[in-house]
């Protein structure tokens, strides 16, 4: 069984993202060591801004999954015995280490995902440290209750870890979404095997490798590979006692079925089609700026919480559409590693053709207007880059696929409305229920909508991405269970045991 370091990766932060990508090539991280796939297979990691291959990733299969899970199961025996606050302190120490590597991590994630360094990648790298720090402080909160039962009977509950957690993550915000899973899982006394998304394996591996310089070997393992071949066996492995998954609805269903076969708990963070509802009394400039953020244009709209349906009260509708188009026009599309760039690339050719398909369908819809905003980059070095101009659609019928389906690209649809009840019904008329936002200075209306919108997260006059300490997760087809908070750590990464002692 191969168990040696393939390449030497630097401990100190490096700003040469290409050299780092090469050094991380061809490895999983199992039992604290960088190891190749048992099969020896690898697959290409491509810089979406240029089309160049920047690294190879280890192509994991059942044999790698088995090795990683066995290591995690062995490590969990000791990890669970460590006092919870000590585990938390180690996770907080990982945060301190990541903080010294933020710039390196930001450059590497920009290289492999095409997300702009200034507007997205650096922000994400910082949130990794923030989430580790937050959960690192929660070790002492893994506590139970005393339960009144009968005189002379002491009845208490204690929180116990579940065992090995399998964490399957997507490519759009891989570092943040991974950390929201692994940090609470580890602090609660579980060990983890992460399966990265095939489009974004490198930076996840780097974070795992750095954290392994702090954590005991085997506590945090990482595999790269394809969904059915690597993710499938991870969910099915008998030693995996909990699965947490972020990805698409169809794969979420497959994962939930496989978990049901084993009768293990599963948390699912799936898609969204998040409405943004704007009343005429809003603070106009703040709301236009908020719409750009809400639509996650700087992430090319590749977000489950993107405001891809925007409903604007009629008196300000025309002005709002014009202002939004003007603001998106002013955003700079270009090299993700350039500080001037606001908008980088789409992740892959598959996503390019999917998003372009939606845009073509919108443009071909009778009566619909599609505005292409911002300008394609002119640099010849980016000629093969996966760039798509942001599109703002108006006059689409409510039945259009652009309005009902998750596009996961820089495409939003804007509608006028006259009646509050009708717009609420339109907003709720979706199979999804992840996030929503309401923009108004009438807080009575804002709160009423917040209560009646069918979504796991509703924000009034802001639309931030997921934050540590706030429970996050959807209703309807957007998922099962919540993540990111103390309560979700207790609920989803521990089980409650009741202990009774009769001392009569």
Residues classed as catalytic: 269, 304
105 lines the binding site for ligand ADP (CB under 6 A): no
Determine the Cα–Cα distance for residues 215 and 221; give it in Å rounded to an integer.
11
What is the smallest separation between the CB atom of 202 and ligand ADP, expressed in angstroms?
Answer: 14
195 lines the binding site for ligand ADP (CB under 6 A): yes
Which residues 377-436 are close enough to bind ligand ADP by CB under 6 A?
Answer: none
What is the smallest separation between the CB atom of 174 and ligand ADP, expressed in angstroms?
Answer: 9
Calculate the CA 329 to chain-centre distance.
27
**Region near ligand ADP per CB under 6 A, out of 77-85, 146-154, 247-255, 331-339:** 247-255
By beta-carbon proximity to ligand ADP, the closer residue of 172 and 287 is 172
235 lines the binding site for ligand ADP (CB under 6 A): yes
By beta-carbon proximity to ligand ADP, the closer residue of 56 and 101 is 56
Do the Cβ atoms of 382 and 336 come closer than 8 Å? Answer: no
By beta-carbon proximity to ligand ADP, the closer residue of 91 and 251 is 251
Q: How many CA atoms lie within 13 A of 152 on its CB side?
A: 3
By beta-carbon proximity to ligand ADP, the closer residue of 247 and 344 is 247
How many residues bind to ligand ADP according to rule CB under 6 A? 17
Residue 144, φ and ψ in degrees, nearest 5: -110, -155
222 lines the binding site for ligand ADP (CB under 6 A): no
List the one residue from 228, 238, 315, 357 that touches ligand ADP (CB under 6 A). 228
Between 137 and 176, how does the x/- string for binding to ligand ADP read (CB under 6 A)?
A: -------------------------------xxx------
Residue 112: burial class (beta carbons within 10 Å; 0-12, 13-18, 19+): buried
By beta-carbon proximity to ligand ADP, the closer residue of 129 and 164 is 164
Determine the Cα–Cα distance for residues 264 and 69; give it in Å rounded to an integer.
15
List the one residue from 137, 144, 216, 227 that touches ligand ADP (CB under 6 A). 227
Integer angstrom CA distances of residue 307 from 16, 100, 283, 311, 434 = 35, 33, 18, 10, 11
**Region near ligand ADP per CB under 6 A, out of 72-80, 126-134, 215-223, 230-238:** 230-238
List the one residue from 88, 231, 370, 473 that touches ligand ADP (CB under 6 A). 231
What is the smallest separation between the CB atom of 64 and ligand ADP, expressed in angstroms?
Answer: 14
Calculate the CA 418 to chain-centre distance.
35
List the one residue from 197, 210, 337, 434 that touches ligand ADP (CB under 6 A). 197
301 lines the binding site for ligand ADP (CB under 6 A): no
By beta-carbon proximity to ligand ADP, the closer residue of 245 and 417 is 245
Which residues 248-267 are close enough to bind ligand ADP by CB under 6 A?
Answer: 248, 251, 254-255
What is the smallest separation between the CB atom of 376 and ligand ADP, expressed in angstroms?
Answer: 25
What are the contacts of 494-498 at 24+ separation with CB within 8 A?
Answer: 494/142, 494/159, 494/160, 494/161, 494/162, 494/188, 494/189, 495/159, 495/160, 495/162, 496/144, 496/157, 496/158, 496/159, 496/160, 497/144, 497/157, 497/158, 497/159, 497/160, 498/147, 498/155, 498/156, 498/157
Do the Cβ atoms of 245 and 271 come closer than 8 Å? Answer: no
Reading the block at residue 24, the tokens are: 């991380």
395: left (phi over 0), alpha (psi -120 to 50) or beta: left
What is the smallest separation between the CB atom of 107 and ligand ADP, expressed in angstroms?
Answer: 23
26 lines the binding site for ligand ADP (CB under 6 A): no
Do the Cβ atoms of 139 and 86 come closer than 8 Å? Answer: yes
List the one residue from 88, 136, 184, 247 that touches ligand ADP (CB under 6 A). 247
Q: Which residues contact 436 (CB under 8 A, 6 or more apart)?
A: 274, 275, 276, 277, 427, 453, 455, 457, 458, 459
By beta-carbon proximity to ligand ADP, the closer residue of 138 and 251 is 251
Reading the block at residue 271, the tokens are: 């898609």
**Region near ligand ADP per CB under 6 A, out of 7-15, 59-67, 101-109, 225-233:** 225-233
Determine the Cα–Cα distance for residues 147 and 168; give it in Å rounded to an integer.
36
Determine the Cα–Cα distance for residues 388 and 409; give it in Å rounded to an integer.
8
By beta-carbon proximity to ligand ADP, the closer residue of 125 and 258 is 258
By beta-carbon proximity to ligand ADP, the closer residue of 169 and 176 is 169
What is the smallest separation between the CB atom of 113 and ligand ADP, expressed in angstroms?
Answer: 12
What is the smallest separation between the CB atom of 247 and ligand ADP, expressed in angstroms?
Answer: 3
Determine the Cα–Cα distance for residues 84 and 96; give it in Å rounded to an integer.
19
Which residues 326-385 are close enough to bind ligand ADP by CB under 6 A?
Answer: none
For 139-148, give one letter per residue: b (16+ CB within 10 A) or e: bebbebeeee
Do the Cβ atoms of 474 and 458 come closer than 8 Å? Answer: no
> Which residues are near ligand ADP by CB under 6 A?
168-170, 195, 197-198, 226-228, 231-232, 235, 247-248, 251, 254-255
């Amino acid at each position: 069984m191969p168990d040696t370091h393939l390449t030497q990766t630097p401990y100190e932060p490096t700003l040469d993202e290409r050299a780092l990508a090469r050094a991380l090539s061809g490895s999983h991280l199992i039992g604290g060591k960088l190891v190749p796939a048992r099969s020896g297979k690898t697959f290409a990691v491509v810089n979406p801004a240029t089309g160049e291959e920047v690294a190879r990733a280890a192509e994991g299969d059942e044999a790698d999954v088995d090795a990683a899970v066995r290591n995690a199961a062995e490590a969990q025996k000791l990890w669970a015995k460590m006092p919870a606050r000590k585990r938390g302190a180690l996770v907080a120490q990982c945060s301190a280490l990541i903080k010294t590597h933020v710039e390196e991590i930001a450059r590497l994630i920009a290289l492999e995902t095409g997300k702009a360094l200034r507007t997205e990648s650096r922000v994400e790298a910082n949130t990794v440290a923030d989430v580790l720090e937050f959960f690192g402080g929660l070790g002492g909160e893994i506590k139970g209750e005393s339960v009144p039962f009968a005189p002379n009977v002491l009845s208490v509950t204690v929180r116990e870890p579940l065992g090995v957690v399998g964490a399957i993550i997507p490519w759009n915000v891989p570092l943040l979404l991974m950390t929201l899973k692994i940090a609470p899982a580890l602090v609660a006394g579980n060990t983890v095997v992460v399966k990265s998304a095939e489009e974004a394996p490198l930076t996840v591996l780097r974070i795992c490798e750095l954290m392994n310089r702090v954590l005991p070997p085997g506590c945090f393992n990482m595999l790269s590979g394809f969904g059915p071949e690597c993710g499938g066996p991870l969910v099915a492995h008998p030693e995996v006692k909990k699965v947490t998954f972020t990805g698409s609805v169809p794969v979420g269903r497959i994962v939930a079925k496989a978990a049901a076969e084993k009768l293990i708990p599963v948390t699912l963070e799936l898609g969204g089609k998040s409405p943004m509802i704007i009343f005429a009394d809003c603070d106009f400039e703040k709301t236009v700026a908020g719409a750009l953020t809400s639509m996650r244009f700087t992430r090319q709209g590749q977000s489950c919480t993107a405001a891809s349906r925007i409903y604007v009260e009629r008196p300000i509708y025309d002005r709002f559409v014009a202002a939004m188009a003007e603001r998106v026009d002013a955003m700079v599309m270009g090299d993700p590693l350039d500080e001037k760039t606001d908008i980088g690339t789409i992740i892959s050719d598959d996503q390019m053709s999917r998003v372009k398909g939606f845009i073509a369908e919108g443009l071909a819809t009778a009566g619909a207007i599609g505005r292409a905003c911002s300008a394609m980059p002119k640099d010849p070095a980016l000629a093969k880059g996966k760039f798509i101009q942001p599109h703002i659609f108006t006059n689409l019928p409510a039945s259009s696929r652009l309005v009902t389906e998750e596009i996961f690209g820089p495409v939003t649809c804007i509608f006028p409305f006259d009646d509050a009840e009708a717009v609420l019904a339109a907003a709720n008329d979706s199979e999804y229920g992840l996030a929503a936002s309401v923009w108004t200075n009438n807080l009575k209306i804002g709160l009423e909508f917040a209560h009646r919108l069918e979504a796991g997260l509703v924000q009034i006059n802001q639309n931030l991405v997921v934050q540590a300490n706030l429970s996050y997760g959807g209703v309807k087809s957007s998922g099962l269970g919540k993540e990111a908070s103390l309560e979700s750590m207790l609920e989803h990464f521990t089980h409650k045991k009741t202990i009774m002692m009769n001392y009569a």
